[in-house]
Every structure is written in structure tokens, then in C-alpha cells.
Structure 1
Amino acid sequence: MSNPNNSFVSPPKKLLQNKFDKFAEEIIKQLQKNGHDAYLVGGCIRDQLINIPAKDFDVATSATPEQIRKIFKASRIIGKRFKLVHVYKGSQVIEVSTFRASGAKSNQEKIVKDQLGKILRDNVWGTIEEDCERRDFTINSLYFDPIQKKLFDRHQGVNDSYKRKIVSIGDPMLRFEEDPVRSLRAVRFATKLNFKIDKQIKDAIYEKGYLLSSISNARRFDEFNKIFMHGKAQHNFEKLETFDLLKHLVSHVGQSNSYGYRLQMSALINTDNRVHEGKSVTPGFLLAAILWPKLIEIATVEDSISTRRFFPNMDKILRDQQILTAVPRRFYTYIKDIWSLQLRLQSRIKNQPFKVLQHPRFRAAYDLLLLRIEASNSESEIGDWWTKFQSCNRQTKLEMIKRHRENSSNSKKFGLSGELG
């Protein structure tokens, strides 16, 4: 086994007293039994230090993916660019990674790149010291052996965790050039943990944030989900806007205090509330709400949404977003259904409300309607009408449709007054 010098420190009592995931500990025991170094690494150590219940337990080891695979029958190697091993026990999965070498020139010839210089394979194995140097922030560079009670803390990650501070490993100007996504990660960790961002990192975000445009839209969609789908959507949205990073994730952002901005804020708050209440959330709904103001801006003609502009421009709005984030195709139909239903929720002609109520996207469309009403400061009766229509019996539903037909004009105008400019 390797024997790094000067980086092992006495573990804080919080680490010695806390019980870690038994399955993760068993994996570490088996790896050590087979002659390999193995540690819990990253977020699970950091979270224990600041009294946050750890959810994900990752293991880092000196064993190669192939060696790990031989030790654990219930496992499989995943990834091409960065090989990892998933070890299974029932429904539980622990991610096990091999110590990776530094990006020194001596290793460059082993890294496979395409013609544009994009890294296709980076599976050069190294030591715990080298692996530590490749991590982004000091708070994520902690390695703890729960069996032998050893803590590897090369960059004072424990101290920065207690100070609640995001600090870069190495010069952030250079580190953000290596991987521009680190600027998004800095913001995400700051809001998630309620940590402050070190001034050097702030300067690097302002200076190097533009490099995010070179990151693949698939990776940016992955970051979109991490940033907006875990209970801190509103804070992340505002912080990203402050750092001028939001434009790399969202194609259209409303002006401050405009209808569009209010709707986006309402959608973000709604998403956060659902996460905190343990309800399901989907990027499809959030994108439908965030992009709705731009769609109606393009489609509005003489104080009404023009269907001739509305439907053709759906694809244009989604294509603009697709350039930034690789939205999976399954969400395209989902988003367009929600948008189309906004017009049907308003028209309520003949027996159409019964069909709308049975539509698989009705609930999502209804939720967007309520957010639109809230953001437009509208006294629209549509929201109350649909709230009642869902819960009443069939006879009452028929009477509601009849009264609506009698009381409404023949106008085919669409849209709420407060959202049409």
C-alpha cells in the first residue's frame, strides 16, 4: 500500500463517532483485505463535519476498475471517458473510483482526445496524492478510512468546512480553464451548504465564466438538473444571474420585476417547495414555465396570443434551449403538451373540458396555469373554474360548461391580460 507523508491528520471526533454506511464500509474492508488502499471520499465526509446527514457514500481506491470488478461479483464497470465501478447490494449502489493521476505532461500521451482536443479517455491511474490534486475544492478533497480511522486532508478541507468556505485547490483561474463547469459547481455548493465563496474563486468565475460555452450541452443539462432539481432552485437562479452564468443554462431570462421574471421565480419556488415536501419534480415542467414568457412574447399580436405564431414557435423556443442544454426528446412532447393545453384550459368550448381533464398532462398544465395567474397579478376566474371542475360531479360539470358558454363572448382571444404586455 502507498504511504503518503504529511497529509494524514487526526480525525475530528465527529468522524470517529459517526457511523457510516455499512455497505460502503464493507466494500472498503474487502478492498483492503485484497491489498488495496480504500477510503470514503468527498461529500459524505464534508457533510458529516457540518452536521448534514450524508446520503451518498463514494469510495476511492488504489485498485483499478478491473481489480475492483474481480473482487465484487455484483458490480459493473461504467463510463468510457472516466471508468468507474458500481457495486450493488439489493437496490443500493456504491460508486467506487480509482485514484487518478495528475494531468502532468508525462501522462498526456496516455489521454485519448479527438481532433478538436476533446478528451475521450482519461483513465490514467495514480496515487491518493495525485487524485487529491485533481479535485476541485478543498472541502471535497477529504479521504477517510473508517476501518483504520485515518483521515487524509492534504488541503485543509476540514478547516475550510468548519469555516463554511468554498476554496479552490490550486489557482482557480487555471482550474476553471481546465474544467469550466467548476464555476457552476462552486455556486451550487455555496447555496446547497450555505457556504461563502472564496474571493479568488469569485474573480475566476467572472473572468472565466465565458468558457462554459465550450462545454457540451449534454453536460450542461446534467448540471441544470443538479442546480435546479434539488431544493435550491431559486437561490441558484439568482446567484447564477449575479455571476452572469445563467445565460449558459437558460436561453431566455425575464427582466427584473417583469411578468416573465415573476413567472420564472414562481416556478422555481414551486419546484423548491415540491422538493421539500417530498413530491416529484421534473425539468420538463420547470423548462415549460421558464420558457413560457418568451413563447407568448413572440406569439402575441394585438393583446392576444396568435395561434398562427404560437404553435410554430414552440419548436424554435425549444431549439434555442437545446443549444444550451441537451433536453432529452421525451421532454419535448411533455413541454409542448403543457403549452398547448394552456389555450384549451382557457377556451373550454363544448365538451372539451372533459377531454382536457383526462389528458395525461392536465395536472402539470393546471399547475402552470396557476403560476401564470399568480405572476400576472390577474383576477382571472379560470384558475378557480378548473379547481372546482376537477372535484365536482358530472352534473355540476355540465352546468359549469353551460354557464361558461352563456356568459362568455364569442371572442377567441387567448392569454391573461397581465402577461400580454
Structure 2
Amino acid sequence: MNKRVSGERKAPEWKKLDAEELGISNSMISKPTGVVLNGLKRKGYEVYLVGGCVRDPILKRIPKDFDVITSAELKQVRKAFHRCEIVGKRFPICHVHVDDVIVEVSSFSTSQLKSDGNSMVMLMFDPYANIVYDYMGGMADIKKTKVRTIIPANLSFVEYSGRILRAIRIAARLQFGFTRDLALSLKELSHSVFRLDKGRILLELNYMLAYGSAEASLRLMWRFGLLEIILPIQVSCFPS
């Protein structure tokens, strides 16, 4: 498993945690997600749930959506389901259509787990073994209620400026704070979000304004100089 996600960096140890003790169970998995998990598992691929759907139950929250990661290549995922397409350029994923629901499936070979700047997604749940894998201290960050980057924050944000908006979104939704180096890098590199295409910025904004975290997201964007860059008209609504 380490080789799949380590890229050129030294592979860390994975901690195995009992899912039941963390409050995670198969009963929380949506039916469409179960269809995708079982479909890939039957073909012999490794499958896990990853990210917020693993983190949220630990925080006593109800997962909003479910992301799947697999050992299958994206082309193999596409062949496994009748209604499936590959989307995205930098980090391509599959959209599997089950009834009226889209289940996002990523592959270890192309996943952001290789170099993602945010440790909060580094939890994976094996629903067949009932094990949660903790990668790079995700549980410790949850206990500290801090958003942290795996590599130095300034390097992480330069590597991919979309992580700036993602850090804001996660902190706002979870009501978490930032580590000191991450907060400093947010201020120093906020202008680099201009490197993102408009579609990506709009997508991140939609995520920020959803799930009851709109106000918190806007306040964090204002605090770190992002609001005047992305939503200059809304800046006038905030006190100086």
C-alpha cells in the first residue's frame, strides 16, 4: 500500500484502527456507493472509502457524500460500469452513475493521495475488513482540531494553489483552526489562486457555500485576503 501513494517521497507507516471503535460502520454507506464498492470488489480490486465520509463519523457528523478509491486503473473502472466517465485533468477521477446518483471513484495511480497537501483526507476505511487506515497522523489532527499540511504549507500551495481554497473549506466546515505555518502561507500565497481556472474556483466556492458553512467560509476568506481577490463586491459587507 505504501508504494501506491508515496510517489517520490518517503513512504510513511500506515496505522490500522478499529472502525467500530471510531463509530464507523457499513450501515452508514449509501446504497449507490455500496453498488460501486461491491462491483469493483467482485472483480478483484482493492476498494476503500476515503476522506470526509471517514472523518465525519469520527467527529459525530453524518457524511454528506462518499468517495471511493481503488487499486483499479480509471480505464478499468470505466469498463466495470455501464454508465461511467473519466473527468478532470490534473487529478482525473471516474463518475459512476448509479440511478440518479454520481459516485466519485479515484485510482491509487492518479490520486491526490500521492501528494495531497492536506492531512485531513489521509484516512481510508476498508468496509470489508472494518479497518481504518490512518496516513500521516490524520487522527492526531482531528484531536487537535487543526488543519495541517503534510509537506511545508508554502511548498504545498505552490505545488497546487487549489489547496488554499480546500484548506479554507475544510476548516470552515469542521470549525477547525490552522497550524501556524499554514496560516502564514495562506496570507502570503492567497494571490496564487489566480492560477486556477474559473471553473475550479467556482466549484470550490460552491463547496464552501454548501452544508451550512457559508458564513464561516466567507469570514476565513476575508481574514486571509481571499475574499477581495475572488469576491471583491462582498468585501464591503465585512467590517474593516
* Same fold per superposition (TM over 0.5): yes
Q: Residues 66-91 of structure 1, C-alpha deviation per residue, up to 9 Å, x if partnerless?
A: 11122222323333444322222211
How far off is 1:18 after superposition? 5.5
Q: Among 25, 48, 52, which residue is 1:43 paired with?
A: 52
* Pairing 1:92–2:74 present: no
**TM-score between the two structures when normalised by the length of structure 1:** 0.50
Cα distance in 2 between the residues matched to 1:255 and 1:58 = 35
Counterpart of 1:215?
196
Taking a change above 3 Å as real, the CA distance of residues 76 and 247 of structure 1, as seen in their structure-2 partners, is same
Cα distance in 2 between the residues matched to 1:223 and 1:10 = 31
Ranges in structure 2 where 5+ consecutive residues have no aligned partner:
4-11
Larger Rg over CA atoms: 1
Q: Among 208, 218, 234, which residue is 1:227 paired with?
A: 208
How far off is 1:230 after superposition? 4.2
Question: Is contact 1:86-1:93 (8 Å) kept?
Answer: yes
Question: Is contact 1:224-1:249 (8 Å) kept?
Answer: no
Residue 239 of structure 1 aligns to which amino acid in structure 2? L
* Pairing 1:33–2:15 present: no
Taking a change above 3 Å as real, the CA distance of residues 83 and 213 of structure 1, as seen in their structure-2 partners, is closer
* Alignment map for 1:195-344 (pairs within 5 Å): 195-252=176-233, 253-254=235-236
Taking a change above 3 Å as real, the CA distance of residues 216 and 78 of structure 1, as seen in their structure-2 partners, is closer
Residue 83 of structure 1 aligns to which amino acid in structure 2? P
SS at match of 1:144: strand
Question: Is contact 2:26-2:127 (8 Å) kept?
Answer: no
Cα distance in 2 between the residues matched to 1:72 and 1:170 = 36
Ranges in structure 1 where 5+ consecutive residues have no aligned partner:
101-124, 262-421
Q: Residues 347-395 of structure 1, C-alpha deviation per residue, up to 9 Å, x if partnerless?
A: xxxxxxxxxxxxxxxxxxxxxxxxxxxxxxxxxxxxxxxxxxxxxxxxx
Taking a change above 3 Å as real, the CA distance of residues 149 and 75 of structure 1, as seen in their structure-2 partners, is same
Residue 236 of structure 2 aligns to which amino acid in structure 1? G
Residue 54 of structure 2 aligns to which amino acid in structure 1? I
Taking a change above 3 Å as real, the CA distance of residues 77 and 182 of structure 1, as seen in their structure-2 partners, is closer
Counterpart of 2:152?
171
Counterpart of 1:67?
76
Counterpart of 2:66?
57
Taking a change above 3 Å as real, the CA distance of residues 213 and 64 of structure 1, as seen in their structure-2 partners, is same
* Alignment RMSD: 2.4
Cα distance in 2 between the residues matched to 1:73 and 1:256 = 49
Cα distance in 1 between the residues matched to 2:37 and 2:229 = 39
Counterpart of 1:192?
173
Cα distance in 2 between the residues matched to 1:154 and 1:256 = 38
Cα distance in 2 between the residues matched to 1:81 and 1:206 = 25
Cα distance in 1 between the residues matched to 2:204 and 2:32 = 28
How far off is 1:25 after superposition? 3.0
Q: Among 14, 27, 30, which residue is 1:7 paired with?
A: 14
SS at match of 1:88: strand
Question: Is contact 1:86-1:94 (8 Å) kept?
Answer: yes
SS at match of 2:117: coil
Counterpart of 1:141?
122
SS at match of 2:132: strand
Cα distance in 2 between the residues matched to 1:59 and 1:147 = 13
Structure possessing the higher relative contact order (Cα contacts under 8 Å, 6 or more residues apart): 2
How far off is 1:146 after superposition? 0.5
Q: Residues 251-301 of structure 1, C-alpha deviation per residue, up to 9 Å, x if partnerless?
A: 3322755xxx9xxxxxxxxxxxxxxxxxxxxxxxxxxxxxxxxxxxxxxxx
How far off is 1:209 after superposition? 1.5
Cα distance in 1 between the residues matched to 2:237 and 2:131 = 52
Cα distance in 2 between the residues matched to 1:30 and 1:255 = 49
Question: Is contact 2:16-2:134 (8 Å) kept?
Answer: yes
Taking a change above 3 Å as real, the CA distance of residues 234 and 3 of structure 1, as seen in their structure-2 partners, is closer
Cα distance in 1 between the residues matched to 2:80 and 2:237 = 56
* Pairing 1:159–2:140 present: yes
> Paired residues, what number?
229
SS at match of 1:169: coil
Identity percentage of aligned residues = 29
199-208 vs 232-241, greater mean Cα deviation: 232-241
Q: Residues 275-330 of structure 1, C-alpha deviation per residue, up to 9 Å, x if partnerless?
A: xxxxxxxxxxxxxxxxxxxxxxxxxxxxxxxxxxxxxxxxxxxxxxxxxxxxxxxx
Counterpart of 2:164?
183
Counterpart of 2:8?
none
Cα distance in 1 between the residues matched to 2:27 and 2:148 = 25
Taking a change above 3 Å as real, the CA distance of residues 172 and 18 of structure 1, as seen in their structure-2 partners, is farther
Taking a change above 3 Å as real, the CA distance of residues 135 and 80 of structure 1, as seen in their structure-2 partners, is closer
**TM-score between the two structures when normalised by the length of structure 2:** 0.84
Question: Is contact 2:117-2:157 (8 Å) kept?
Answer: no
